[in-house]
Structure 1
């Protein structure tokens, strides 16, 4: 995961999903890309000094997206027979608890720059890096995404 400045703003950089962070499953990688995009929306909001209530609204949207992504990801992992499902599930549960705490802190007036750094770190460590075990599993079973039917290959960020 790399970083680049948000529209010339001071403060936190935009996150970028590097190729090395792709797990090799189009749907999961697309979900990660969407989550990164929403975190970058938060970066822009904080860079533009929005009110905490406005950031809180986007963080709720991010949490909802996390919930949907986790459900999809765990279904895919289960369907493919991923042996470390329990570890993955526990990381997801812990990550969601922390995200909910951060939402509460935002509502209570926490420093938005620090809060955003924590949200970004949570995305990186819990919801993307933790999936690297699944990436190794996919490689071990020689998993290949089915062609999309439009002549394109696997999802690329």
Structure 2
């Protein structure tokens, strides 16, 4: 089995075990591998403009807020923006700070016909460490994957 197929199977298995309504969940490293292997795959970062600016971004990511800062109101144009940026037949991996908003975005995308919508576990910054800081314990940053400071 190719590495790509193994990642997709692992993602599906995680999704089935949790009863998810979308294609599955990937680790940050698995997401990066998919993005490198599939030119049509897209990473959609659903954090806020403030997070992109102050925390950082993944180069080449589609930036579509799930909630808008500072009110944290749901972006009523999310699906319109997603459909304009991403082919519903493509592998699309959703990223947020810790994996919660991206879970919701993947579920909504699947409801609207995105057949390979997946959540990136741990998110961009990951869980808090013993000192209460993010970015060190797990997640995209801690995995040493590409990102730039906002």
Q: With the length of structure 2 as denominator, give the TM-score of the two structures.
A: 0.26
Normalized per residue, which structure has more strand? 2
Structure showing greater radius of gyration is 1
Ranked by relative contact order (alpha carbons within 8 Å, sequence separation 6 or more), the top structure is 1
TM score, norm. by length of structure 1: 0.26
Flag the structure with higher helix content. Answer: 1
